[in-house]
Structure 1
């Protein structure tokens, strides 16, 4: 395996350079090992190689693209794997992730279900996975994010800390820590963890999500200019990520940038025409009263820009 990536650093900052190189190699190897594992599964003398291969396909599906159809395909692959091997922790974790992606990307209207229904299924599948293998970082991350989306962020943080204990360079776990802290109103901790996630894996398939949480944490803290920049980066990274535009709408409106707010609002309403301020409030993303009080600024900005109540 040849290494071709370049990492720039000042000569005097060798300690930081060493840390960055180690983290970059670790994350790249993690992706490569998943590919190798998928290849090896076809050669191992297991009872059902197809089940293992389906589980690996389900987990990797949606890594780069998470359209509504891709999420459905991930769910179907996971369900096929489980039908062949109900003890596949990875298949249960992949199934949980398919429900998580539907919730986080606001695909629920396409499924004709409620947020609560899909989160119940996500947590049920994630718990099954965790009971089967509590030492797989993929399983831990899936369960932690499902809990965080349900508002059980303290529990999620404990799981993410366990994931970090297994792999200090797990960018997805650092993102989860950032998200969980944001839902608890811990803006400084959310921003610090978000920077760590981005530093570890600036090419993560979910980097737009990393940027959105950074925008949210800055807006909660009253740093509207920074919130605008992070939301704008998220929208540029993934132009069809509707929620990024809502943060750009709110932050721009609060900072007095009417033109940006109106442009972002037009895009947001095209992507999620049924959403209102009440729709966002009904999601109940905060885990405590501190976050809820901070989140009022988000709703204030949305109203100021003209999103219907």
Structure 2
């Protein structure tokens, strides 16, 4: 009798289930099922497709998948587990859905759409050995993938698996040293997402660095006007300045699909801009171009670069949206140079650099009295001066800050950055909370990708007595600029929001994060002192007050209002003062 032919092939087998699924279902049946479906739909299934896997079958909380490549099977498992860590970040311990994964490779039987064989059983047994959130693989998988992925293998020894005739060498997958120190990957937004890295200055003149940086800032601004794009803020992109970068890693760390890099060469009265757009998920080059022109046409060149990039990222965008990016800023290059130099000084965040920034910004305004960006930036310098306790003449500073802010919003009715800067100045210094909030809301309508506007909106919500809304807006600001060198400002604002929400543990935690980035952030020190004291941690509170007094010996309860926003609600001011008094701040 002729033996029936059996259809066999070599494949990598991936088995997964949810750790503690029965317990989770017992706690919240409908919620657990909904979350599991969301994880499958948004993360697991797309990753399987991305790495050419085929879902053979699902069984409640489990699934069986085959891959033609063992490297792809392991890569898929690693990325799924990393994605789950991120998705579980805000989920309370004990209610998280965590997958266990087992992978082996070998000969299997194909029958219809199903698979059978010893290797299938081994994968299932390996999955049962995995920790929640972990991956276990067989010895052959380890041999085939060793050195080909950024992972390490921990030898768990030979195991006698249930109903498997021979012992199986088991390895647990761990992040490699490089991967363990890398920043965690961020989930890609639903809409097209982009980061513009600092352009290389090819002029051979270190003094022109500010010019190359300014070029990138203008391109980021042009791109960020599109509501259909998610654009990473300038300060996060600039953390890569001067570094050799891996574009795929940049994409993972910033949570973007596309990365633009390039160079600027300025000589005499000519400038050349080169740029290339890369798909960070694959490393593929999508677009490259070169733009040459006279220096007086610099803004036209910037608009052309921005328009071309947008066309490459989202070719189906309506032409009207593309044309919206073609808005020239100022026509006076000398004023523009002063503005760029002023912003470079501002980003140093010291009293001296703040004074230098104001000098340069005033010079920019003198050269071009219609330069809206300079007015907004100068007004914001006064806000920072007050926040840090650097005010030389509070009455005169208040008058001047309001004048600059009023000019910024008059000239910049359609300029989100100017409206945001003017709005925060009106609210913080003039005490016009409603007017300031309206300008900031207008800025967010014009440019929902502007991290600074979300930060300012967060502050306004704090002062309006809406700390929970403020927390949401500040989280949005940090997502738009996750590597921002001034992340401490966002963290400090988040600390204040939690303080006035009565979340003293969260407030002190956020304040400590801000202070790790900027130990001299007086707003962060004040919140740390007040929140620690209100939570009963007097020793930590007293340490914070001692540091405040070192930086600002004249600071006391009686002159708090000089450092705090003019619009702080009486009950919030009283809570703040109570905390600082308990912390030991003199009256």
The two structures have a TM-score, normalised by structure 2, of 0.46
Equivalents in 2 of 1:307, 1:84: separation in Å?
46
Q: Which has the higher helix share?
A: 1
**What residue in structure 2 maps to residue 143 of structure 1?**
422
**What residue in structure 2 maps to residue 206 of structure 1?**
486
Q: Is the 8 A contact 1:58 1:74 kept in 2?
A: yes
Of 340, 343, 366 in structure 2, the residue corresponding to residue 56 of structure 1 is 340
Select the structure with the greater relative contact order (CA < 8 A; seq sep ≥ 6): 1
Judged with a 3 Å threshold, the aligned counterparts in structure 2 of structure 1 residues 219 and 50 are, in CA distance, closer, same or farther, namely: same
**What residue in structure 2 maps to residue 99 of structure 1?**
382
Judged with a 3 Å threshold, the aligned counterparts in structure 2 of structure 1 residues 17 and 284 are, in CA distance, closer, same or farther, namely: closer
Deviation (angstroms), 1:47: 6.7
Q: Is the 8 A contact 2:538 2:582 kept in 1?
A: no
Alignment of 1:1-309 (within 5 A): 9-10=83-84, 17-19=187-189, 22=192, 25=195, 33-34=216-217, 43-44=295-296, 48-63=332-347, 65-108=348-391, 112-114=392-394, 116-149=395-428, 150-283=430-563, 285=565, 287=567, 291-309=569-587
Equivalents in 2 of 1:12, 1:233: separation in Å?
19
The two structures have a TM-score, normalised by structure 1, of 0.84
Judged with a 3 Å threshold, the aligned counterparts in structure 2 of structure 1 residues 259 and 284 are, in CA distance, closer, same or farther, namely: closer
Query: Structure 1: which 5+ residue stretches go unaligned?
Result: 1-5
Instruction: Report runs of 4+ in structure 1 exceeding 3 Å deviation.
Output: 8-13, 20-24, 26-32, 35-42, 45-48, 281-284
Q: Is the 8 A contact 1:154 1:180 kept in 2?
A: no
Deviation (angstroms), 1:185: 0.9
Equivalents in 2 of 1:277, 1:303: separation in Å?
7
User: What is the RMSD computed on CA atoms of the aligned residues?
Assistant: 3.1
Equivalents in 2 of 1:107, 1:195: separation in Å?
28
Equivalents in 2 of 1:197, 1:280: separation in Å?
27
Deviation (angstroms), 1:71: 0.7
Query: Structure 2: which 5+ residue stretches go unaligned?
Result: 1-78, 88-185, 200-212, 221-263, 272-292, 298-329
Q: Which has the higher strand share?
A: 2
Greater Cα offset, 95-104 or 262-271? 95-104
Deviations 1:176-204 (CA, angstroms, capped at 9, x unpaired): 11100111111111111111111221223
Count of paired positions = 294
**What residue in structure 2 maps to residue 3 of structure 1?**
none
Equivalents in 2 of 1:181, 1:196: separation in Å?
14
Q: Is the 8 A contact 2:386 2:562 kept in 1?
A: no
Equivalents in 1 of 2:398, 2:583: separation in Å?
30
Judged with a 3 Å threshold, the aligned counterparts in structure 2 of structure 1 residues 176 and 154 are, in CA distance, closer, same or farther, namely: same
**What residue in structure 1 maps to residue 205 of structure 2?**
none
Equivalents in 1 of 2:218, 2:383: separation in Å?
23
Judged with a 3 Å threshold, the aligned counterparts in structure 2 of structure 1 residues 47 and 176 are, in CA distance, closer, same or farther, namely: closer
Equivalents in 1 of 2:401, 2:426: separation in Å?
9
Deviation (angstroms), 1:167: 1.9
Equivalents in 1 of 2:545, 2:359: separation in Å?
34
Matched residue of 2:544: which SS?
helix
Q: Is the 8 A contact 1:231 1:244 kept in 2?
A: yes
Rg bigger for which structure?
2
Deviation (angstroms), 1:27: 9.9
